[in-house]
Amino acid sequence: MTSGLFLAIALPLAVIPAAIAVVLSGEAASSYTKLLQPGVLLVGCLLSLWVAMMYRADLRRAFLFLAAFLLLYGLVSTAPLVEQLAKALADNFLTFLIAWQVTTYLMLFAACVSILRAVGVTTMGKWGIPVMGATLLLAIGVLANGMPSFLDTLEVNLKAAVLVFLIRILDVLVMLMLVPVLLLYLEGARAKYQESATFAFVALGIVASLVFVYVYELIKGQPLMEIAQGEYQKGSLLDGLYIFMYLTVALGLFAHRKHQQWILGKLEHNLLA
């Protein structure tokens, strides 16, 4: 087995649980997505901790921070927990949720900083400028598209408006930070003749989960808040995309951890052949 072969087999299979979320209807779809979405994130957290154990210094910290991000994201995606917190905190719930979201994204930013320190590469290769230019244009579009709904919500509920637009800003910052991190990591791995596909799947899974959400918003022609209220964890296409993208992250982490073992096994097999 190689990491490339594993991902080639596993990624098409990951479509199945994501598709089930879309095919199911009613209460079955809601129960399925409410269980699977946080479940995939928490599995990703455990896998990230497993990966962290194979490194030291900055790379270990990077995967520990990534594990913390996936844990916090998984917990806030757990419907029963959020419902209990909403009841317990009452009017303070939205303030708590804002603080939670900021903390969650800070973990991902810290992971990016640790990876940059570990890589030690400052050039992104020939694709760096065009890819970053496209990412910047996408980021501006995401912010501009959310401005009208932000202003409308601002007149009705200040905290809700701040929360929704803050998440949008944080998502944009994640895109603007993860894309150069990925490019620098790939450049560093290429310079050192190291495997890079597995980490690429981890980073791309996170970035794609954000990009597809805002593309979905654009296609639907509705504010993301309205889409979330009507479709989130109810067996929608949006749920299926979330599940598939974070399954991609989990599979990338698993392959990253197993890569060295598979390489050694292949070498041993070749020596004995």
Block means of pLDDT (10 residues each) for the chain, 273 residues, are 82 92 87 92 94 87 93 91 87 84 90 80 71 86 83 78 83 84 73 64 83 82 77 85 91 84 62 54
Residue 154 within a domain: yes
Residue 78 within a domain: yes
- Domain of residue 194 covers 3-262
Residue 252 within a domain: yes
Number of domains in the chain: 1
Burial of residue 83, with CB atoms counted within 10 A of its CB: 0-12 exposed, 13-18 middle, 19 or more buried: exposed
Residue 108 within a domain: yes
Residue 237 within a domain: yes
Residue 44 within a domain: yes
Residues 183, 178: Cα–Cα separation, whole Å: 9
Residue 268 within a domain: no
pLDDT reported for residue 44: 94
Residue 149 within a domain: yes
